[in-house]
Amino acid sequence: MKPQKQLKYDNFIVEVYGGFGEVGGNCIVIRDGDRKLVFDYGIRYGVMRKYYGGRIEPLGPVEMIRLGVAPNPEVSENAQALYVSHLHLDHVGLPSTTYPSTPMVFPDKDIAKATIGAWHENR
């Protein structure tokens, strides 16, 4: 999967997989050598509107990933952590599609638990 935008700053590489020039879909990877951090994992509203609306709904996460509505799980592969800035759909997306070994950090665990469920307890 290729990023929408890639920027290099000395030893750092910043890859934007969603949210560049659009509202929603925020997903940014910062690399420093072998270290990798992911910031947000959001749904891309503009892409979602192209395929869904009215009574047409997604069949599930696999379809949303294939169409580019949700980030590809490859984005979170081998990441030291995935940080969610806040619990709006355009930032948290489908967290169950991340690699199970990727630790997730939420701004408030109680709110996250109430908002997106107990699945993250084992992360």
**Res. 115 pLDDT band, cuts 50 70 90:** low
pTM: 0.82
For 118, counting Cβ atoms within 10 Å of its Cβ (0-12 exposed, 13-18 middle, 19+ buried), the class is exposed
> What pLDDT was estimated at residue 117?
61
* Strand-by-strand arrangement of the 81-83 sheet: 5-9, 12-18, 27-32, 35-39, 81-83, 104-105
* CB atoms inside a 10 Å sphere around CB 97: 17
Residue 73 DSSP one-character state: G
Least confident interval from 20-29, 50-59, 101-110: 101-110
Say how many domains are in the chain. 1
Q: What is the CATH number of the domain that holds 91?
A: 3.60.15.10
> What pLDDT was estimated at residue 90?
82
Residue 115 or 84, more confident: 84
**Res. 40 pLDDT band, cuts 50 70 90:** very high
> What pLDDT was estimated at residue 16?
94
Domain of 66?
5-122
